[in-house]
């Protein structure tokens, strides 16, 4: 199976590295890291990523995965990036995203009429790319798989692994990675966090979401 991850500047590295760690352990997996250029790609957390392919020489994919991050504002307005996502999404057996990567799929027209999820702070914005927002950590609609915010990408990847290779393989990968989460706090989603925590984080995200909405509108205008 050819698995392709889209890389773009200022992506959230865990959106990418969590699913990569799981999916790369699938039997026969061949992973491509595709970017607009082969120069190192900066992430939001010091780590720099090295693409294996650019858009022109990336092999046809069976599974396309789009991570999220603040860099989506520019990525979803970039014509070459969206053309690549459209091309690979049209022939992939699985079209997938983690966190706000869903909006790159949306900019490519791949979420129209589809159930999808994304990071909680951006969830209501999914309707602006034609999707039906669903509150869940992982959402499937046909061959479209979307994961919620950041760490949800790990659960998303195990869901994909089970779909592709069966439950036993997915469970074996889970054991090998010792994925047995036991967080010290139950504050990882809006319905579990204390009200004060939720209000503080909503306020912190507000300027960022406002900028995102402008970028989303610009991306839509650019497609007209």
The catalytic site residues sit at 99
Instruction: Give whole-number Cα distances, 89 to 63, 117, 186, 193, 202, in Å.
Output: 8, 18, 36, 36, 33
Q: Give the span between the Cα atoms of 168 and 83, in whole angstroms.
A: 36
Q: Give the span between the Cα atoms of 13 and 46, in whole angstroms.
A: 9
User: CB atoms < 10 A from the CB of 79, how many?
Assistant: 9
Q: Give alpha helix (H) positions in the chain.
A: 13-23, 72-75, 79-91, 102-107, 152-165, 167-176, 195-222
Are 47 and 66 a contacting pair, CB within 8 Å?
no
CA 47 remoteness from chain centre? 18
Element (H, E) at 3: strand 2-6
Q: Which residues contact residue 28 at a Cβ distance below 8 angstroms, ignoring those fewer than 6 apart?
A: 1
């Amino acid at each position: 199976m050819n698995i392709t991850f889209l890389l773009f500047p200022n992506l959230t590295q865990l959106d990418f590295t969590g699913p990569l760690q799981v999916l790369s352990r699938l039997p026969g997996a061949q992973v491509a890291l595709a970017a607009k250029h082969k120069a190192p790609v900066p992430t939001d957390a010091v780590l720099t990523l090295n693409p294996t392919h650019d858009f022109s020489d990336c092999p046809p994919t069976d599974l396309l995965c789009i991570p999220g991050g603040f860099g989506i504002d520019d990525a979803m307005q970039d014509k070459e990036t969206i053309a690549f996502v459209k091309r690979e999404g049209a022939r992939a057996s699985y079209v997938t995203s983690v966190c706000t990567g869903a909006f790159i799929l949306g900019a490519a027209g791949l979420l129209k009429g589809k159930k999808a999820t994304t990071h909680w702070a951006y969830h209501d914005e999914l309707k602006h790319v034609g999707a039906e927002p669903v509150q869940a950590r992982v959402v499937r609609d046909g061959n479209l798989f979307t994961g919620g915010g950041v760490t949800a990408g790990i659960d998303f990847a195990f869901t994909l692994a089970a779909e592709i290779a069966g439950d036993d393989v997915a469970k074996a990968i889970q054991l090998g990675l010792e994925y047995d989460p036991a967080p010290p706090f139950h504050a990882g989603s809006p319905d579990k966090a204390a009200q004060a925590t939720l209000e503080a984080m909503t306020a912190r995200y507000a300027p960022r979401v406002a900028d995102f909405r402008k970028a989303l509108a610009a991306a839509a205008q650019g497609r007209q």
